[in-house]
Structure 1
Amino acid sequence: MILYIRNMACESCMILVRQELDKLGIQHKRIELGEVEIRGLISDEKKESFAQAIEPGGLELVDSAEQVLIDKIKATIADYVFNKKNIKQNLSAYLAEELEMEYAQLATYFSGLTGTTIEQYAIALKIEKAKELLAVENKSLKEVAEQLDYKQVSHLSNQFKKVTGIRPSEFKRKGVASRKTIQELGKVG
């Protein structure tokens, strides 16, 4: 049995899910971004208990096939953005390969259900990661550009201003207060 989980987009989320499954005695085969494969079946009561246990962490069980696909697309985009240095494909090829669908289908489906494009969502994720690197890790804009695989610092700076309305240097002075969680980004659409 597979459970699909919305907003599960980082290692911390997977740790939370594993802990809550273990607390409830629910055996699992694998835990990946956005989904958990359960050994056998679980009762509706245990499923509801699990849903309630992960909710404070910003996670949510989903049943809709449409929402499952959107969440898989978002998780795959996050994987691409956060691991770009290790991925040699462009985003469209990576999504098509990972999700085993034509990119045009994915793009149409995503924009139709979220109201934003895959590219806009990926840029928003990159800018949030840039904010983290600038504010939390105190990296320079050049280091951030390199880590996020921007060819030019000016390109990152221009995208940053377009998305946030302020320059990276202004953000650095402002700090963490203007950052968004991945759950808030998920509400782009």
Structure 2
Amino acid sequence: MQELILQIKNVVCGRCKITLQNILLRLEIPYTKISLGEVVLPEPLSPGALYKLEEELAKVGFSLLQDKNERIVNKVKSIVIELVYREKDFGFKNLSDILKEEIPLDYSHISSVFSKTEGKTIQEFQNDVQMERIKELLEYGEKTISEIADEMEYSSAAYLSARFKKYMGISPSTYKRQYQKDRKPLDLL
């Protein structure tokens, strides 16, 4: 039999993957792999099983992606999140090269579909995810700005601070002191 790859909207973090895994186990749907925004099944589902899966996914804010463009956007978002959160090692490649490798389409098409669907470029989305990650790390209070700059692969703490201030309107140290809880969930970026 042929495996089935389902793309699932809003599976954007580790807890989302665990939630998806629990749904599959509860419905007794076998799977071979779960990743951000995607699950691989060893075989296609019956229409009844697919309907039950869609119902259960909807209860937790997930949904199956059927539209080709939505699938492209979901894949791009998953890759960007994995890249920013270091959940997958892509080596030292730039984002456009990673996307070309992971999505078997022309990059200009991927970029165009993403921009038309999301109203922002892939780079703007990546910047949004990076800033949310930086805000998260600042709120934890466990790392210095220099350590965060290193982790996020900025050339220096000064460069990170300048980008953060441009994006947020305040410096990282001010944000850290004020501990503003205004992070956005990744599924809303």
TM-score normalised over the length of structure 2? 0.87
Q: Report what 1:144 is aligned to.
A: 148
In the alignment of these two chains, the number of paired residues is 185
Q: Which amino acid in structure 1 is aligned with residue 136 of structure 2?
A: E
Local SS of the residue matching 2:32? strand
- TM normalised by structure 1 equals 0.87
Counterpart in 2 of 1:71?
Answer: 74
Q: Between 76-85 and 90-99, report the one with greater CA deviation.
A: 76-85
Other structure's SS at 1:31 match: strand
Q: Is the 8 A contact 1:85 1:147 kept in 2?
A: no
Partner of 2:25: 22
- Secondary structure of the residue aligned to 1:158 is helix
Sort the Cα spacing of 1:138 and 1:40 in 2 relative to 1 into closer, same or farther, 3 A.
Answer: same
Q: Distance in 2 between matches of 1:113 and 1:149?
A: 29
Contact 2:82–2:88, Cα closer than 8 Å, also in 1: no
CA RMSD of aligned residues (A): 2.1
Are 1:84 and 1:149, in contact at CA under 8 Å, matched by a contact in 2? no
The alpha-carbon distance between structure 1 residues 170 and 54, as it changes in their structure 2 partners (threshold 3 A), is farther
Q: If each structure's helix is expressed as a fraction of its own residues, which one has the higher value?
A: 1
Report whether the alignment pairs 1:95 with 2:99: yes
Give 1:69 deviation, angstroms: 0.6
Provide closer, same or farther for how the CA distance between residues 113 and 172 of structure 1 changes in structure 2, counting only shifts above 3 A: same
Q: In structure 2, what is the equivalent of residue 34 of structure 1?
A: 37
More deviation in 131-140 or 18-27? 131-140
